[in-house]
Amino acid sequence: MRKTLSIIVLLALTACQSTQTAPKAEKNTEPEYSKPLLSGHPALELIPNAQWPDVGKAWEDRDLFLRDSLDNSITWFDAPSSKQWFPIEGITHQQAKNSVVAIRKLLATSRTKNEFLYKLETDFEVYRSVGCDDEGTVLFTGYYSPDFYASTKPSRRYNAPLYTRPSDLMTDPASGEPLGRILSDGTITTWPSRKEIKSSNLFNGNELVWVEDDLDAYIIHVNGSARLRLDSGELMYIGYAGKTDRQYTGLGASVLEAGLLPTNKLSLRNIRRLYDRNPKQVNTLIDKNESYVFFKEYDGGSWPAGSLGVPVTAKRTIATDKKIFPRGGLVLVDTKVQSLTGETQTFTQFMVDQDTGGAIRAPGRADLFMGIGPTAGIKAGNQYAEGNLYYIFLKQDSIAAVQN
């Protein structure tokens, strides 16, 4: 279960631009896309109809997968535990839930685009993320659920361990955020870095499974879940069980800073090629990400699942910062994506906010779930584009009219 991590395709988060192209890397430049929201500053702004995105195009691209994704959110809203996350950004639990119920019905019953647009404008409001620059600029990266070969026993082939959660890892019981390491005297201290953990064999004896190399292990760390094809022929599903409280640093940022790849060649596939040529060099960069992640085995029936605990859906689930954005609701993403052949395509599509990520920590960041397996991995690895993020909620006078 992907609780707090995002694949973000190991890419760098660099300065906020005004175009849809990947920004140039600048050494020693703080990533402005991840600029935190100022205290007391709203993450969403209500926009007039004249500034709405092309919701008609999004309606034309609706499908059964969007319906299923909305149903998953409704299931989450029906659980009493979902109420603890509201109100947020002035949105109540009732408003958020009823909005999803109403939009699902509207998508299913509208016979024409014009009918859909009329009812949407009558009953709904559109909010835009303020983005990284208060002008709505959001960087959209991608993530996916990978398949890896693995074994429950170490060997020459399977030599990179993934560990279970240690008993002394302290996390916030409500949010799951890491608090540190609790010592025998009850005090809480910061965890060692990734490099220190690896060099000291700190978690020997807590191995859950072994994968083929350190880069595979790192990708699973960043993604937070994986489907493993064991050498026994069985499938094993593992999910996020917690992480240390150390700083996250994207491998892509470190690769760019080291001058190993130009920005336009930065992809997971090219990082894999670098690793295969010189694993020691890439491992040094991996260790710059001090955060360390732990795993547990779980039933694959709901795999892959997002931070809401419901299944995520390819190109219909989005991950955002859940500290500032409402959970479970319908959003519209307006950005660019890359085809498998490298062609840039417009992406104006309804998605559902059902996940979060370790590097998704600002109004200027969002992550698109691309699916399962190698093909989805290529799409996720190529995803790096600016755009706008919109949330769609019922107007106040339309909330009570919805029949749940």
- Residues 6 or more apart whose CB falls under 8 angstroms from that of 197 comprise 191, 203, 244, 292
Beta strand 293-297 pairing with 317-319: unpaired
In this prediction, residue 14 has a pLDDT band, given cuts at 50, 70 and 90, of very low
For the stretch 135-146, pLDDT in tens is 999 999 998 887
Q: Please name which of 98, 144, 216 lies closest in space to residue 370, comparing C-alpha atoms.
A: 144
Q: Please name which of 46, 181, 70, 48 lies closest in space to residue 121, comparing C-alpha atoms.
A: 48
Report the C-alpha gap between 215 and 212 in whole angstroms.
Answer: 8
pLDDT at 244: 96
pLDDT at 7 over 60: no
Query: How many other CB atoms are there within 10 angstroms of residue 65's CB atom?
Result: 13
More confident position, 363 or 381:
363
- Mean residue pLDDT across the chain: 89
Query: How many other CB atoms are there within 10 angstroms of residue 85's CB atom?
Result: 18
Average pLDDT, integer, range 72-87: 97
| pTM given for the model | 0.79
Kindly state the percentage of the chain with pLDDT values over 70: 92
Report the C-alpha gap between 394 and 98 in whole angstroms.
Answer: 7
Average pLDDT, integer, range 284-302: 91
pLDDT at 125: 98
For the stretch 53-71, pLDDT in tens is 999 999 999 999 999 999 9
pLDDT at 163: 98
pLDDT at 146: 79
More confident position, 369 or 263:
369
Average pLDDT, integer, range 261-273: 86
